[in-house]
Chains A and B, each alone.
Chain A
Amino acid sequence: SAVISQKPSRDICQRGTSLTIQCQVDSQVTMMFWYRQQPGQSLTLIATANQGSEATYESGFVIDKFPISRPNLTFSTLTVSNMSPEDSSIYLCSAGEGQGANLEQFFGPGTRLTVL
């Protein structure tokens, strides 16, 4: 199974600023995803990070607010732009092995973001 690390593990940011979260996988994976987990809630998929092309965003999430990069098969970044207190959440990166109905996801430890 893939091992995933994220940086930073947590941050406290001022409103209006941006934060870039890094996700590193210890092996090449086909799929990488970014999720948001708001306080006391479940996970919501933000986007699928596609290697070499633009990310695929879920309804309610846009590239201007959450730009994503994926320069290779082991690394991705998520930027939370022009932050507001409503963006305070845990952001999780996952790597997927297999495809379609056999997709198995492995998760990073998450980045806990607090926006003041």
Chain B
Amino acid sequence: AQSVTQLDSHVSVSEGTPVLLRCNYSSSYSPSLFWYVQHPNKGLQLLLKYTSAATLVKGINGFEAEFKKSETSFHLTKPSAHMSDAAEYFCVVILNTGGFKTIFGAGTRLFVKA
């Protein structure tokens, strides 16, 4: 089955420490991959996207993600967490299943401790 899996439902880090949010996908084809962030009571905001260009993608607010085909992963990282990063993060994949289908991961809640 073609899908996207976010490996952690919750991640807790201290302010100023690195952030790692993990995402793996399953696809027979090279997918397009996205990370979105959802702050409480707000809509989703696109952080970054991979669409078969450079494998290391830089996004907004200091986030970046690396597409690793051999590991079928697209993990989101940030060198130093800020309190304002506390939110829900969604890994999203567009799969070519005969037509294009967008699938959202289950989400990872990021907590940032002072």
Contacts and interface: CB of A to CB of B under 8 A. Distances in A.
Interface residues of B, number: 22
Interface stretch (A12-20, A68-76, A81-89, A97-105): A97-105
Given A42-B90, A107-B44, A109-B42, A100 B100 contact: yes
Contacts of A1: 46
A41 interface: yes
A57 interface: no
Given A42-B90, A42-B107, A103 B102 contact: yes
Q: What secondary structure prevails in chain B residues at the interface with A?
A: strand
A43 interface: yes
A92 interface: yes
A108 B43 contact: yes
A103 to B, nearest CB: 6
Interface of A: 1, 4, 33, 41-45, 92, 99-110, 112
7 shortest A-B CB distances, which residue pairs? Answer: A107-B44, A109-B43, A101-B32, A107-B43, A43-B104, A42-B104, A100-B100
